[in-house]
Amino acid sequence: MSSRSTLPAWTALQSLAAQQREIHLNDLFSADPSRFSTFSAELPGVLFDYSKQRVDANVMQSLLELAEQCDVAAWRDKMFSGEHINITEDRAVLHVALRDRAKRCILVDGVDVSGEVSRELARMEAFVNAVRSGDWKGYSGEMITDVVSIGIGGSHLGPQMVTEALAAYADETLNVHYVSNVDGTQIATTLNGLDPATTLFVISSKTFTTSETMTNARTALAWLTAAAAEAGISDSKSAAGKHFVAVSSNVAAAGEMGIEQDNIFSMWDWVGGRFSLWSAIGLPVALYLGFEKFVELLEGAHEVDEHFASADFASNIPVLMALLSVWNTTFMGFPAQAILPYDQAMHRLPAYLQQAEMESNGKFVVRDGGSVDYATVPLIWGEVGINGQHAFYQFLHQSPAIIPADFIGSVRSSIEVDGHHDVLMSNYFAQSKALMTGVSAAEIRADLTAKGLSPERIDEIVPHKVHQGNRPTSSFLLSRVEPRTLGMMIALYEHKIFVQGVILDICSFDQWGVELGKVIAKKIEADIAADSMGEAELQQQYDVSTAGLMARYKTMRRS
C-alpha cells in the first residue's frame, strides 16, 4: 500500500477538499478581487491562468507542501542528471537531453550523451536538407515530393500532432502523410494517388517490433519494390535504399528489414516512446517544415526545461499544473479532464495528451510494488473546443459529473482571416466563464419574466435552465501557435505528467498495461490462421465468448 496518504499535507488536503466542496467559485472571486494575478503564471508567449480552479491560498499552500513532502525537487534533479528513474525497465529518462540547447554534459551510466544527441541531430539536418533541396533522388532520379511516416503511439502521435499544428509554417516542398493503423484501409488510401518514384517512407518504431508498424512497413516495401521492378529496376535493394529510412533504437532489426545502415537514425533506450518527439522520431516534422523550425520547437521545449528546473514551485507552471490535476482527481474526486483547444492548429493535442498522460500515469501500482488507495490519473479526452460546444458541452455545463477542463487559445491565429478570430476567442472566454459562474434560478426567472412568459410556464422551465457553475478550468493563452510556443506547451504537459507521477508515487515511464493485449493478439493471429483451430479447439484455449467470436469470424471470412 502506498504511504502517500499518511503524509501530513495529504491529510490536510483531504480536509480542505471537504471544505472546498461546499464553496462556490463565485464566492472565491467575490472574496478576492486579485485572484487572477494571484493564481496565474507566465512564460514569454504562454500565460497560464488557474484562478478558475477550485482552490484558495490554503489549498495551494498545502499542495506545495505535498510537493515538498513527496520530494518532487529531488526526483526532478534525478531525472535531469540521468539517474535510472524508470525503475521497472532500469533506464534513465532523458528526453530533456534531446533538446538541451545549452549542450551540457549529461551522463547516462557514466557516458556523456550530449555528443550522441548532437551527432544524430546533425545527421537529421543533413538528410532533411538533402531531401528538401532535391539532392536526394528516388530510384527514377526524380526528387521526393511525398513523405509517408509509418509508426504508432509515441512514434506517431507527437509528429502528427506537430505537423498539423504547424501546417501554416510549411512550404510547398513536401507533403507528409501518416499511417498508424494496421487496418489496410489506411495504408491503401494513403498510397493510392502517390507516385512510388517520388515517395519516401520513414519507418518510426523505437523497438522495431511493433506489429502494426512492421505490417505497414512490409506493405510499403512491397509496393515500392513492385513499382521499381515495373520501371525496369531489377536491384530492389538499391531501389528501397532511396525510399526507406528508419528511426529506431533497434538498429539491428531495422537492418534486417532491409533498411540500409546509413538510412537508420538512432534513438536511445533512455527516451520513452511518448516523450520521443524531440529525437529523430521528429524527422517527418523536420522534413515538412525544414530543420530550422524543428530546432525552434526544441528551443521552446528547452525554455520550459530551464523554467521547470529552476523556478520556485509556487510559480513553476508544470508543477502547478500537476498539483491542480492531483487536487481535482485525487482529492476533489473529479474523474476526467477535458483538453479543449480553441485553435484549429492544435486539433490533435487531445489525442496526443491521452497517450502522454494515461499511458504514463494510468496505473494502480506504486513504486515499491504496493497499490494505491486513491484515484490517480483522470480520463483525458477532448476535442477542438468550438466543435465540442455543439457536441458535448451540454454535459460539461449541466451533467451531475464535474469535468475540469484546460482551455487553450491564442492571441493570433495561425492564418488570420478577417472577422474570425475574435468570434472564436469570444467563445473561449465565454465558455470558461459560464462553467464557472453558472446561472441561478432567480436570474432565469427574472429573464423569463422580462420576456413576458406566464408564471406557470416560468415555473416549468426554470429548473431546466439552471446552471450550477462551479466547474473548474485552467486557461492557457498563447501569443500564437508557432514552433517555439508549441514546443513550450508540449514540454509543460510532459513535466506536469512527471510531477503528477512523483506525487502519485507511480513509475510514469513504463507501460506494462499495453503489453498484455499485444501478447494475446499474437497468439490469436496464429490461431485465426490455423485451419486446425475450429470452435471446439478454440474453446480449449479461450473463454467461450472469445472462442465464439473468433469461430464466427473465421467462418465468415472463409465463406
**Residues 152 and 130: beta-carbon distance below 8 Å:** no
Decide if 518 is catalytic.
Answer: yes
Q: Select from 548, 520, 521, 519 the least CA-distant residue to 534.
A: 548
Q: State the nearest-atom distance from the C-beta of 276 to ligand F6P, in Å.
A: 7
Return the number of the residue (25 or 150) whose C-beta is nearest ligand F6P. 150
Which segment (34-42, 135-143, 150-158, 446-454) binds ligand F6P by CB under 6 A? 150-158
Return the number of the residue (40 or 511) whose C-beta is nearest ligand F6P. 511
* 158 near ligand F6P (CB under 6 A): no
Q: Residue from 199, 213, 389, 508 that binds ligand F6P (CB under 6 A)?
A: 213
Decide if 359 is catalytic.
Answer: yes
Considering only residues 499 through 518, tell me which ones interact with ligand F6P, judged by CB under 6 A.
511, 514
Return the number of the residue (273 or 438) whose C-beta is nearest ligand F6P. 273
* 153 near ligand F6P (CB under 6 A): yes
Beta-carbon contacts of 170 under 8 Å, excluding residues fewer than 6 positions away, are 288, 289
* 520 near ligand F6P (CB under 6 A): no
Q: Select from 371, 364, 370, 323 the least CA-distant residue to 72.
A: 323
HEC secondary structure over 442-476: HHHHHHHHHCCCCHHHHHHHHHHHCECCCCCEEEE
List 22, 230, 237, 390, catalytic entry? 390
Considering only residues 332 through 361, tell me which ones interact with ligand F6P, judged by CB under 6 A.
359
Return the number of the residue (215 or 546) whose C-beta is nearest ligand F6P. 215
Residue with cell 465463406: 559
Return the number of the residue (98 or 405) whose C-beta is nearest ligand F6P. 98
Q: State the nearest-atom distance from the C-beta of 493 to ligand F6P, in Å.
A: 16
How far, in Å, CA of 525 to CA of 520, rounded? Answer: 9
Q: Select from 152, 125, 119, 142 the least CA-distant residue to 243.
A: 142
Residue type, 104: R
* 210 near ligand F6P (CB under 6 A): yes
- From residue 524, alpha-carbon distances to 48, 218, 451, 518, 521 in Å are 48, 21, 64, 10, 5
Q: State the nearest-atom distance from the C-beta of 186 to ligand F6P, in Å.
A: 16
Q: State the nearest-atom distance from the C-beta of 49 to ligand F6P, in Å.
A: 32
Q: Residue from 91, 206, 293, 554 that binds ligand F6P (CB under 6 A)?
A: 206
Q: Which residues of 275-290 are buried (b: 16+ CB within 10 A; e: fewer)?
A: bbbbbbbbbbbbbbbb
* 273 near ligand F6P (CB under 6 A): yes
* 242 near ligand F6P (CB under 6 A): no
Which segment (148-156, 221-229, 372-380, 451-459) binds ligand F6P by CB under 6 A? 148-156
Q: Residue from 40, 53, 149, 155 that binds ligand F6P (CB under 6 A)?
A: 155
Burial (CB count <10 Å: 0-12, 13-18, 19+), residue 434? middle
Residues binding ligand F6P: number (CB under 6 A): 14
HEC secondary structure over 511-530: CHHHHHHHHHHHHHHHHHHC
Q: State the nearest-atom distance from the C-beta of 392 to ligand F6P, in Å.
A: 26
Residue type, 136: W
How far, in Å, CA of 199 to CA of 504, rounded? Answer: 46
Which residues sit at the interface with ligand F6P, rule CB under 6 A? 152-155, 205-207, 210, 213, 273-274, 359, 511, 514
